[in-house]
Structure 1
Amino acid sequence: MSSLYAETSPSDDLRFDFGGGSVEPGYIGVSAAEGYSQNTGYGFNTPENMRNVAASGLGEASDAVQFLAFGTKSTNTFNVDLPNGLYEVKVTLGNTARASVAAEGVYQIINMTGNSAKDKFQIPITDGQLNILVTEGKVGTAFTLSALKIRKLSDVPVTNRTIYIGGDSTVCNYYPLDSSAQAGWGQIFKDFVNGQTFQVRNMASGGQIARGFRNDGQLEAILKYIKPGDYFILQLGINDTNPKNTTTEAEFKEIMRDMVQQVKAKGATVVLSTPQGRATDFNAEGIHTSVNRWYRHSTVALAQEENVPLVDLNVLSSAYFTSIGREATIALYMPGDSLHPNRAGATELARIVAAELQRQGLDGFSVSE
């Protein structure tokens, strides 16, 4: 076992600075040509598929490596020997329009956007090694990595209680996470969750449909780690109703049912959520209503049939929008966009979802009345 990470120092970070430039103090410099070695305990599995590239950030983000071979199952990984346990991994990308992070053969972070984007995830290590790479968010984009920080959280290789979230562009993360003008409610949800009880893993992605979420790797990642005591909140339907996606309402419902049943079989709690309507869904009397949008009726029926909690965000958000009026509602959405919430709008939606789960008696939520 590598001496890089001592089991007696669980609070210490391992820091890697990737690329061909200068190495920041406190970091281990790793060039694209550096293959994995048992002597060092780290390196690229197939360095011939890596390349040093420039990056526009500062410090450790001033250079990067590019993954020339990629995919969640790719062997073109950066490997780090680690004692078994639970770890937090902080990722800084290089210059890229949109990229995802995979480790241990599944997605860990979905669609990080913009140069020097930062995010983090928890991962249990059970085989003595972390295997991580940057992969598709958008085909044709350079998939780059500037830095990693790895911290051991526990000797027990099991994630903390987790709320996994699935959804589309009204739910997903936007970067920088703490300051983006546009936001999905899943990005803000952690602010209404007791952080001593849960971590939040937002696996939503823009443009997503039920079939894609199930078949293209996001559900796979959740099923790998989800366990009794965890939650999975699933909100889809907006893009499924787009004719280009050729998903009938009956097909949508059965794909959603399949996902519900697969997660229930893991012993976790599934929560179904209906999407909010458009900012402009006001009638002549000033009432906001969108109950016929986004295959809502099938989601409501499915929750009853599968006996899982339902957050009818469609109706709950409409009640809130009616209470504040048309102009205040429009101000919660991106300029000229009646579908996608801005940061303030996403915050209100996250608050509504968390408050409804708290009202239904689910534990771990901290919403002030």
Structure 2
Amino acid sequence: MPVNANKGDRRGSTAKRTWAGGIAAAVLAAGAGLTFVAPAANAEPSNYRFDFSGGSVEQGYTGVSATDAYSPGKRYGFNTPEHMANVPAKGTGAGSDAVRFLEYGTKSTNTFNVDLKEGLYKVTVTLGDTARASVAAEGVFQVMNMTGNGATDSFEIPVTDGQLNLLVTEGKAGTAFTLSSLEIEKVSRHPAMDPTIWVGGDSTVANYYPLESSVQGGWGQLLPQYADPAAFDIRNMATGGQIARGFRNDGQLEAILTYIKPGDLFLLEMGINDTAAKNATTEAEFKEIMRDMVRQVAATGATPVLVTPQGRATDFVDGVHSAVDRWYRHSTVALAQEENVPLVDLNVLSSAYFTEIGPEATLALFMTGDTLHPNRAGAGELARLVAGDLARQGLLPGAA
């Protein structure tokens, strides 16, 4: 179950009870000789369902063409429709067509704008035909690298300036950035996000799509299975191929710093790609970049947690799995001690588990022909180990 599902329903029920109670009070007041004024017919909506389409519109949705410019009367539309295009899509219903964003970048003005009252909103996006694309809103990333046609994901976002500005942007240069449908649901009238676990990392941590049934998995994707949704939301900002410098400089850390707050956790695992010669990151450089990120997050009052990457499936010698010298692990461990921040030594934890189950069972937790990337089952085991160690350190209450 998505980590936000129960919480969103609970908030929605509260809102409905509050609204119903207000109506009942108004009716009683009318009976006492006071005047009851019904909400205006043109009151600003809190919930929307948009079908981006150049043709037929799915029932229950509001159709939006690439040519629809924003207007205050309509309260929604594209800021630069001249930079949009209607395109077909291979899905069904609202997913049978889409719009394509012809400009990209999180700071682009090529956005779909929706007027919204101040509050916290759950936003669900469904892409069209897209190899890999990211979703940005309010000038920062919200969802990283959605892959495959018709991919769907959700995020919660506070709106404080009266308008949501959203776009689909590049996850991989040269690919199409398309949007089939968008659903917006008001979660709370208070624009405050719940306690959140923010996750940074590489392809062994990232999300894969469809989220609920992907063959490959990242432990950040599976972490919600082991966390209490009443205690934390989870936002996974990890991406495949990422290095520490890229995570810090190219927008992922910026997005986290925009929203992170006291009581939140930031889990950061890097090192696998940093050690590759093509990325030209020395171990000393890696350590100082990681230190900078740790300090920036700590300055917000949130808690940074360093995580070491697991080794390869084949790191067995005489039946014992060990990868303690991989992926700049020693620098990550030293950094945690120097900055006095928590450490989840997933490298050692996973090796102990792999030794326990043996080489054959370990290999079965990785993608076929791949000794580095876990499959969905393997990602689940890594997530279990991360959650268990966070719980042991008192950082994750109610962990499964």
Calculate the TM-score normalised by the size of structure 1.
0.96
Distance in structure 2 (CA, Å) of the matches to 1:45 and 1:73: 13
1:277/1:4 Cα in 2 relative to 1: closer, same or farther (>3 Å)? farther
Give the alignment of 1:266-281 within 5 angstroms: 266-281=300-315
Moved over 3 A (4+): 1-7
Give the alignment of 1:252-271 within 5 angstroms: 252-271=286-305
Distance in structure 2 (CA, Å) of the matches to 1:364 and 1:190: 13
8 Å Cα contact 2:57-2:94 kept in structure 1: yes
Distance in structure 2 (CA, Å) of the matches to 1:39 and 1:215: 39
In the alignment, which residue of structure 2 is the partner of 1:296?
Answer: 329
In the alignment, which residue of structure 2 is the partner of 1:232?
Answer: 266
1:110-133 per-position Cα deviation (integer Å, ceiling 9, x unaligned): 000000000000100000000000
Distance in structure 1 (CA, Å) of the matches to 2:393 and 2:108: 42
Count residues with an aligned counterpart: 361
Tell me, yes or no, if structure 1 residue 169 matches structure 2 residue 203.
yes
In the alignment, which residue of structure 2 is the partner of 1:308?
Answer: 341
SS at match of 1:317: helix
Distance in structure 2 (CA, Å) of the matches to 1:6 and 1:22: 23
1:101-154 per-position Cα deviation (integer Å, ceiling 9, x unaligned): 000000000000000000000100000000000001011111000000000011
1:5/1:334 Cα in 2 relative to 1: closer, same or farther (>3 Å)? farther
8 Å Cα contact 1:5-1:14 kept in structure 2: no
Matched letter for residue 17 of structure 1: D
Give the alignment of 1:1-369 within 5 angstroms: 3=42, 5-6=44-45, 13-283=47-317, 285-367=318-400
8 Å Cα contact 1:227-1:266 kept in structure 2: yes
User: 1:2 Cα deviation (Å)?
Assistant: 11
Distance in structure 2 (CA, Å) of the matches to 1:178 and 1:217: 26
In the alignment, which residue of structure 1 is the partner of 2:10?
Answer: none
Distance in structure 1 (CA, Å) of the matches to 2:259 and 2:153: 19
Matched letter for residue 92 of structure 1: T
1:202-222 per-position Cα deviation (integer Å, ceiling 9, x unaligned): 000000000000000000000
8 Å Cα contact 1:357-1:365 kept in structure 2: no
SS at match of 1:181: coil
Distance in structure 2 (CA, Å) of the matches to 1:161 and 1:23: 37
User: 1:315 Cα deviation (Å)?
Assistant: 0.2
The root-mean-square deviation of aligned C-alpha atoms, in Å, is 1.2
Distance in structure 1 (CA, Å) of the matches to 2:107 and 2:67: 21
In the alignment, which residue of structure 1 is the partner of 2:32?
Answer: none
1:306-354 per-position Cα deviation (integer Å, ceiling 9, x unaligned): 1110000000000000000000000000000000000000000000000
1:4-40 per-position Cα deviation (integer Å, ceiling 9, x unaligned): 6446xxxxx3100002021111101000000000001
In the alignment, which residue of structure 1 is the partner of 2:9?
Answer: none
SS at match of 1:222: helix
1:13-72 per-position Cα deviation (integer Å, ceiling 9, x unaligned): 310000202111110100000000000100000000000000000100000000001110
Matched letter for residue 129 of structure 2: N
SS at match of 1:328: helix
Matched letter for residue 110 of structure 1: M
Distance in structure 1 (CA, Å) of the matches to 2:84 and 2:281: 39
Distance in structure 2 (CA, Å) of the matches to 1:2 and 1:41: 14
SS at match of 1:304: helix
8 Å Cα contact 2:367-2:374 kept in structure 1: yes
User: 1:365 Cα deviation (Å)?
Assistant: 4.1
User: 1:187 Cα deviation (Å)?
Assistant: 0.3
1:151/1:5 Cα in 2 relative to 1: closer, same or farther (>3 Å)? farther
1:136-188 per-position Cα deviation (integer Å, ceiling 9, x unaligned): 10111110000000000111111111000000000000000000000000000
1:2/1:97 Cα in 2 relative to 1: closer, same or farther (>3 Å)? farther
Q: Give the number of the structure whose alpha-carbon radius of gyration is greater.
A: 2
Matched letter for residue 201 of structure 1: R
Q: State the identity %.
A: 70
- Mark the runs of 5 or more structure 2 residues left unpaired by the alignment: 1-39
8 Å Cα contact 2:227-2:396 kept in structure 1: no
Distance in structure 2 (CA, Å) of the matches to 1:175 and 1:101: 14
